[in-house]
Amino acid sequence: MSKPLLFAWITSIIAMGGSLFFSEYMGFIPCTLCWYQRILMYPLVIFLGIAFYHNDRNIYKYILPISVIGMIMAGYHYALQKIPSMHEFATCSSGVPCSGQYINWLGFITIPLLSLIAFTMITVSMIILWKRK
């Protein structure tokens, strides 16, 4: 049993559950960047679950590119929310604005930050898995 693999899988499950909670239970409509982050996160639940079941320590080759892209996208999204001068670079042209903040816990915790943390935790887990190989 690989602890980094289990940790990454549980992280992806919590991230997917959290995004579904916010949209389905709380009624928050995801913006365009939120959808892209979901597109990157949701398959990780399946891939990491299968890899954990088979104890496949080579999964980092496939997960790292996805999680790093997710980190970059979530970081960009968070910057759009928290840096006023970034609003001119917003990619959301219709629907919910990407700079909008449904939650703002403690003045800095927003949904894109939670996404960034999840993608970072998965990335670090995959790097640990890679280095242990």
The one-digit pLDDT tens for each residue of the chain (133 residues) are 799 999 999 999 999 999 999 999 999 999 999 999 999 999 999 999 999 999 999 999 999 999 999 999 999 999 999 998 887 777 776 788 888 999 999 999 999 999 999 999 999 999 999 999 7
Q: What is the three-state SS of the chain?
A: CCHHHHHHHHHHHHHHHHHHHHHHHCCCCCCHHHHHHHHHHHHHHHHHHHHHHCCCCCCHHHHHHHHHHHHHHHHHHHHHHHCHHHHHHCCCCCCCCCCCCCCCECCCECHHHHHHHHHHHHHHHHHHHHHHC
Query: How many other C-beta atoms are found inside a 10 Å radius of the C-beta of residue 45?
Result: 18
Domain boundaries, the chain: 3-132
> Using one digit for the tens of pLDDT, what is the confidence trace for 94-129?
788 888 999 999 999 999 999 999 999 999 999 999
- What CATH number labels 3-132? 1.20.1550
Whole-number pLDDT of residue 39: 98
**Statement: the pTM of the whole predicted model exceeds 0.75:** yes
pLDDT confidence of residue 35: 96
pLDDT for the residue 108: 96
